[in-house]
């Protein structure tokens, strides 16, 4: 991204907003104030009237740090950026021809928040806070985070006019093209961003649909600089630097769709950790319900809080800052604590940083069987996650035994040279690239045994393309497991997993991620096969072909052509 520090708008000119074009990127821009008597209030919303009262309340509650997690320092102004994800009930409208059912479906709405806390002893409670929020159905953190860095300060400079001015610029943007690099002008600045590929987008309403399959790339892009999944620019290294040896455990838990509670001192830290986790399984479609910043005001909380001991917890990743969740959601099987408390916080951090330029967690991780580290691990397990109520620790509480072995050669390549913020940021970019490439390779190799079920075919030389293409190979889970057990998953996986690797495949098949990913891949492969056969038909010399066909074959070919033409007419 390149952004001019002297960004400005002509406030005396009334901007022109194309509402239809705006909706391709943004649902609404909101300004929310924390009122001491009435709580969170939506002061401004653009476009007006696009949110119901209940939606405004839910968005407002999600747009401020929990009271327990707020900064305790006395700096005059503190800004932070984070994002949340909530469910929104929308009406699925009829198409242009009036075909289809008008029904209500749930879609996930992303809220990207610029929160400002201003300390002023002259005010009640010693300060005030407001949030500027961008609402979108698109998981484009790489777009909306830098946009917030412009919109947030601009709003606090010129007020509500900023919302309409930024909306005018966004409405002039070209339509988003998933999986591509795109330049987005915003005033005298330009956002240069990589959009995640379409195959990584979570399913709308939680179910597979044939709609939109044409925009899904049939394969993972070969260019390593292009994103392979959601939140490709999240700080994976920074989020989990205190527990890097556990990344392979986390990868496995997400792969099979296990529920996790991610707790961090601040909203930016917890949402970054959740985003990093989701990015860890690229190019796999993540179908687990992830909430980067989850609060007790979310309508889902009541249902989760009512889960009894012994009942299965739904596959969710919840990012939280309120330690109340440790007691409220006791049945969640995996708890991950990340991040460091802000300066002067009332919670103490036990994480340590190296001053030698080496990664401090590396010697701890490689020496994890030393008496001191073993004793610390025993104490952590004995105390349980409730110890976070008094002291913040970067740790994982889980009884799951991982199949995947940590790759210490990858950890040994990581660099920790946090001398200055600029150097530390550069090192994080390098480390994130190392980690992301490794887990991309790990996930790709894990999924490789399924590739025969996506293999397309083309007409053989001399045969007629005017027949239906053969169906893709049928899939049967039991037959797949038996075949995989006989032939093995490949050297890459065998080298990095323990002898019970087949159990991991069984868990993956039974988890929430497999079927949505498999169905989407099959749909893309079928579409690609149809394209290849159509291309072959267009290149065929029809007169020469007819001369070789029997009368019955000619009639059959005519019927196929007629059916295909009718199908294309209906599509157009």
Give the E-state strand segments of 422-475 in sequence order.
none
Residue 558, number of CB atoms within 10 A of its CB: 11
DSSP single-letter state for residue 2: B
Q: CA–CA separation, 214 vs 568, rounded Å?
A: 14
pLDDT along the chain (572 residues), means of 10: 49 71 96 84 92 93 74 71 93 54 80 90 76 96 96 95 95 93 91 89 60 45 61 94 95 98 96 97 94 95 92 96 93 94 56 37 41 66 82 92 95 77 80 95 97 92 80 96 96 95 98 96 93 86 78 82 81 70
- Specify the pTM: 0.87
Spatial contact of 300 and 320, defined as CB atoms under 8 Å apart: no
End-to-end alpha carbon distance in the chain: 38
Helix residue ranges, H only, 37-116: 53-61
- Give the β-pairing of 395-397 and 334-337: antiparallel
We find that the CATH architecture of domain 19-195 is 2-Layer Sandwich (3.30)
Domain ranges of the chain: 19-195, 236-445, 453-571
Which DSSP helix (H) or strand (E) runs through 106? strand 103-119
Residue position matching structure tokens 């087949």: 502
Task: Give the pLDDT score at 72.
Answer: 52
Structure tokens at 453: 């079920």
Structure tokens at 224: 């390593």
Question: What's phi and psi for 417, nearest 5 deg?
Answer: -125, 60
Task: Give the pLDDT score at 354.
Answer: 34
- Give the β-pairing of 28-35 and 39-46: antiparallel
Question: What's phi and psi for 453, nearest 5 deg?
Answer: -80, -5
Nearest to 130 by CA among 121, 138, 120, 122: 120
Q: CA–CA separation, 165 vs 157, rounded Å?
A: 13
Cα 335 to its chain centre, rounded Å, is 19
Structure tokens at 210: 């044939």
Task: Give the pLDDT score at 321.
Answer: 95
Residue position matching structure tokens 């044409």: 214
Which DSSP helix (H) or strand (E) runs through 130? strand 127-136
Task: Give the pLDDT score at 16.
Answer: 82
**Radius of gyration for the chain, computed over Cα atoms and rounded to the nearest angstrom:** 26
The CA-atom distances, in angstroms, between 312 and each of 51, 258, 452, 570 are 34, 10, 34, 45
């Amino acid at each position: 991204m390149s952004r001019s520090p002297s960004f400005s708008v002509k406030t005396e000119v009334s901007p022109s907003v194309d509402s239809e074009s705006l909706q391709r990127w943004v649902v609404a821009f909101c300004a929310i104030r924390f009122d001491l008597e009435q709580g969170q209030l939506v002061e401004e919303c653009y476009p007006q009237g696009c949110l119901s009262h209940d939606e405004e309340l839910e968005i407002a509650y999600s747009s401020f740090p929990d009271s327990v997690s707020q900064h305790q320092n006395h700096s005059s102004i503190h800004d932070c950026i984070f994002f949340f994800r909530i469910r929104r009930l929308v009406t699925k409208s009829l198409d242009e021809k009036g075909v289809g059912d008008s029904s209500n479906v749930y879609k996930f709405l992303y809220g990207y928040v610029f929160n400002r806390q201003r300390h002023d002893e002259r005010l009640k409670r010693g300060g005030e806070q407001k949030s500027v929020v961008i609402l979108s159905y698109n998981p484009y953190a790489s777009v909306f985070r830098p946009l917030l860095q412009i919109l947030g300060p601009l709003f606090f400079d010129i007020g509500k006019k900023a919302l309409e001015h930024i909306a005018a610029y966004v409405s002039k943007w070209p339509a988003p093209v998933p999986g591509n690099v795109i330049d987005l002008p915003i005033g005298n600045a330009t956002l240069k961003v990589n959009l995640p590929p379409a195959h990584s987008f979570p399913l709308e309403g939680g179910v597979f649909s044939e709609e939109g399959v044409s925009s899904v790339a049939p394969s993972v892009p070969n260019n390593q600089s292009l994103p392979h999944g959601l939140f490709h620019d999240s700080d994976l290294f920074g989020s989990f630097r205190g527990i890097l040896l556990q990344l392979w455990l986390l990868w496995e838990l997400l792969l099979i769709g296990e529920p996790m509670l991610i707790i961090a001192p601040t909203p930016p830290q917890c949402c970054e950790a959740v985003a990093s986790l989701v990015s860890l399984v690229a190019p796999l479609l993540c179908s687990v319900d992830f909430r980067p910043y989850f609060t007790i005001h979310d309508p889902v909380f009541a249902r989760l809080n009512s889960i009894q001991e012994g009942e299965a917890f739904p596959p969710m990743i919840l990012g939280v800052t309120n330690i109340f969740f440790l007691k409220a959601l006791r049945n969640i099987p995996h708890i991950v604590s990340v991040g460091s408390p802000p300066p002067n916080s009332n919670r103490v951090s036990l994480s340590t940083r190296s001053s030698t330029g080496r990664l401090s967690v590396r010697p701890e991780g490689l020496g994890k069987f030393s008496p001191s580290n073993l004793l610390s691990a025993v104490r952590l397990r004995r105390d349980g996650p409730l110890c976070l109520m008094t002291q913040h620790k970067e740790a994982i509480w889980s009884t799951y035994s991982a199949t995947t072995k940590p790759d210490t050669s990858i950890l040994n390549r990581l660099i920790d040279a946090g001398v200055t913020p600029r150097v530390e940021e550069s090192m994080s970019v390098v480390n994130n690239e190392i980690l992301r490439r490794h887990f991309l390779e790990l996930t790709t190799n894990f999924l490789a045994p399924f590739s025969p079920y996506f293999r397309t075919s083309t007409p053989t030389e001399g045969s007629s393309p005017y027949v239906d293409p053969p169906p893709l190979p049928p899939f049967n889970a039991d037959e797949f497991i038996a075949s995989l057990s006989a032939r093995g998953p490949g050297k890459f996986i065998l080298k990095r997993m323990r002898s019970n690797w087949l159990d991991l495949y069984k868990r993956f098949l039974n988890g929430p991620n497999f079927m949505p990913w498999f169905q989407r891949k099959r749909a893309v492969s079928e579409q690609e096969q149809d394209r290849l056969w159509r291309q072959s038909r267009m290149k065929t010399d029809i007169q020469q072909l007819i001369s070789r066909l029997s009368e019955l074959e000619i009639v059959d070919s005519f019927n196929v052509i007629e059916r295909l033409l009718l199908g294309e007419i209906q599509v157009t």
